[in-house]
């Protein structure tokens, strides 16, 4: 519950939570079953969600020693960006070394989270109005390259949403116009 509350996850996956907590699958499965039976979490097709009665602050706990947040990328989204369409296209997706964890709505947008396949870096992608801010939580400086790689893979996914589709696929977002550069 501390991990779910600490990451402010509204929807999360079993595998993502397992990688963040580094819990054994059977241990996590039993814990989630107990939380579900007690009405604290609800299982849904997208994963798990916190029940309304479970929302609210938990007693304070010391932060993990050495865990730090690193800003990796801050950019504007291409115009006309639709955060909802981006979320729909990225929700539940794994790519390269990043595994889907979950997402949550925040005051000015939403946050989507992925964890590296070895669980050493948590990637937070915050979408607000027309901007994207990607941060990573890492325990050791040696985990930073994995986090940077995952952030750039995510940015590549978003770019492909705007730049067209492969044959047979449709784009999630389309351009409204194109102005060709003029010869000088």
pTM over 0.85: no
Please tell me whether residue 67 adopts helix, strand or coil conformation. coil
pLDDT averaged over consecutive 10-residue blocks of the chain (184 residues)?
Answer: 70 81 84 82 80 53 58 82 76 85 83 88 87 90 90 86 55 41 48
pLDDT of amino acid 174? 43
Classified by CATH at the fold level, domain 2-54 comes out as: Arc Repressor Mutant, subunit A (1.10.10)
**DSSP symbol at 120:** S
Q: Which two tokens stand for residue 79?
A: 């115009």
Number of H-type helices and E-type strands within the chain: 5, 8
How many whole angstroms separate alpha carbon 76 and alpha carbon 85?
16
**pLDDT in the model for residue 163:** 66
For domain 68-163, the question of CATH label 3.30.1490 is answered with no
Alpha-carbon span 61 to 7, nearest angstrom: 14
Domain-wise residue ranges, the chain: 2-54, 68-163
């Amino acid at each position: 519950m501390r991990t779910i509350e600490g990451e402010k996850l509204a929807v999360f996956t079993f595998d993502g939570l397992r990688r963040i907590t580094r819990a054994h699958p059977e241990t996590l499965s039993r814990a989630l079953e107990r939380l579900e039976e007690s009405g604290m979490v609800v299982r849904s097709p997208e994963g798990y969600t916190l029940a309304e009665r479970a929302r609210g602050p938990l007693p304070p706990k010391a932060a993990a020693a050495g865990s730090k947040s690193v800003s990796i990328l801050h950019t504007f989204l291409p115009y006309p960006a639709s955060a909802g369409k981006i979320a729909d296209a990225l929700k539940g997706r794994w790519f390269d070394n990043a595994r889907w964890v979950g997402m949550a709505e925040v005051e000015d947008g939403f946050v989507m989270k992925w964890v590296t396949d070895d669980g050493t870096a948590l990637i937070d992608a915050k979408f607000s109005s027309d901007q994207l801010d990607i941060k990573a939580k890492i325990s050791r400086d040696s985990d930073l390259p994995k986090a940077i790689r995952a952030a750039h893979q995510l940015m590549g996914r978003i770019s492909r949403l705007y730049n067209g589709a492969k044959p047979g696929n449709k784009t999630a977002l389309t351009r409204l116009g194109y102005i060709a550069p003029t010869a000088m």
